[in-house]
Amino acid sequence: MLETPGELAALQSLLDESAAAAGPHMREIITDERRLDAAELTRRLAGMCLLTVETVTADGRPVSGPFDGYFLHGAWWFSSGPQAVRIRHLRARPAVSATYLPGEEMSVTVHGQAELFDLHGPECADLRQAMLDFYLPKQGPAFKEWMDGLVGGVGVRIAARKMFTFSGA
């Protein structure tokens, strides 16, 4: 958990504002008792979380795909190569949605704008470390060699304008 007190406060404000702006149907399902607060959310989102990321094609069609997501400093981050379809979409049209849905007991959905960074730049230092923490034990030093050699790698942070959480447990 890398969140500062200020980041946790901003995340809590985002969660509260999003819940207040939700439609009546969503408010019936995601009651106050079923929402996660910022502290609990960051605790539950430790490590890699498989995200479904939704982007929009040039002709307006929505498309989705899986990414290894990391919740860092109160925001979702993921990465890919520069020629990946979703990265090309986000460069042209940065509106993005993503959902983490490990099962019916929890969900986190975010809508916002993608901010793209050089994966090897300072903005992505925590993302790279999170990736290493997850993959080095599984794949060994070959993963770090691959990541270090990834020319043009892109780190993506979702600057959320809405975030909804649900906990059925």
CATH number at residue 22: 2.30.110.10
Q: Can you tell me the distance from the alpha carbon of 109 to that of 93, in angstroms, rounded to the nearest whole number?
A: 19
For the entire predicted model, the pTM comes to 0.94
Q: How many domains does the chain have?
A: 1
- 142: containing domain: 5-167
Helix (H) / strand (E) element for 159: namely: strand 154-167
Nearest to 70 by CA among 148, 29, 126: 126
Q: State the residue for tokens 């050089």.
A: 118
Does residue 1 register a pLDDT over 80? no
pLDDT tens column, 62-83: 999 999 999 999 999 999 999 9
Q: Can you tell me the distance from the alpha carbon of 25 to that of 15, in angstroms, rounded to the nearest whole number?
A: 17
